[in-house]
Amino acid sequence: DSGVTQTPKHLITATGQRVTLRCSPRSGDLSVYWYQQSLDQGLQFLIQYYNGEERAKGNILERFSAQQFPDLHSELNLSSLELGDSALYFCASSIGLAVQETQYFGPGTRLLVL
Amino acid sequence: AQSVTQPDIHITVSEGASLELRCNYSYGATPYLFWYVQSPGQGLQLLLKYFSGDTLVQGIKGFEAEFKRSQSSFNLRKPSVHWSDAAEYFCAVGAPFGNEKLTFGTGTRLTIIP
Per-residue model confidence as pLDDT tens digits over B12-67: 999 999 999 999 999 888 889 999 999 988 889 999 999 988 899 999 999 999 99
Burial of B91 (0-12, 13-18, 19+ CB in 10 A): buried
Of the partner residues A55, A99, A108, the one whose CB lies closest to the CB of residue B43: A108
Report CB contact under 8 Å: B43, A48. no
Distance (Å) from the alpha carbon of A71 to chain B's nearest alpha carbon: 23
Q: Which residues of B touch A44 (CB under 8 A)?
A: 104
Average pLDDT score over chain B: 93
- Asked if pLDDT for residue B96 goes beyond 80, the answer is no
Report CB contact under 8 Å: A45, B49. no
Mean pLDDT, rounded, for A25-39: 95
Residues 47-86 of A with CB under 8 A from B: 48, 55-56, 58
Report CB contact under 8 Å: A107, B41. yes
- In this structure, chain B runs to a length of 114
Report CB contact under 8 Å: A45, B41. no
Of the partner residues B43, B101, B105, the one whose CB lies closest to the CB of residue A48: B101
Give the confidence band of B98 by pLDDT, cuts at 50, 70, 90: low
**Contact indicator for A54, A48 with CB cutoff of 8 Å:** yes
Mean pLDDT, rounded, for A15-37: 97
What are the pLDDT digits (tens) for A60-87?
999 999 999 999 999 999 999 999 999 9
pLDDT of residue A97: 84
Distance (Å) from the alpha carbon of A69 to chain B's nearest alpha carbon: 22
- Asked if pLDDT for residue B100 goes beyond 70, the answer is no
Average pLDDT score over chain A: 95
pLDDT of residue A90: 97
Give the confidence band of A101 by pLDDT, cuts at 50, 70, 90: confident
In SS3 terms, chain A reads as: CCCCEEECCEEEECCCCCEEEEEECCCCCCEEEEEEEECCCEEEEEEEEECCEEEEECCCCCCEEEEECCCCCEEEEECCCCHHHCEEEEEEEECCCCCCCCCEECCCEEEEEC
Percent of chain A with pLDDT over 90: 87
Listed residue (B31, B95, B32, B87) closest to B63, CA to CA? B87
pLDDT of residue A68: 98
Percent of chain B with pLDDT over 90: 78
Give the confidence band of A1 by pLDDT, cuts at 50, 70, 90: confident
Of the partner residues B32, B41, B105, the one whose CB lies closest to the CB of residue A100: B32
Q: Is B102 on the interface with A (CB under 8 A)?
A: yes
Residue of A99, A104, A109 to mutate, testing the B interface (most B Cβ within 10 Å of its Cβ): A99
pLDDT of residue B13: 97
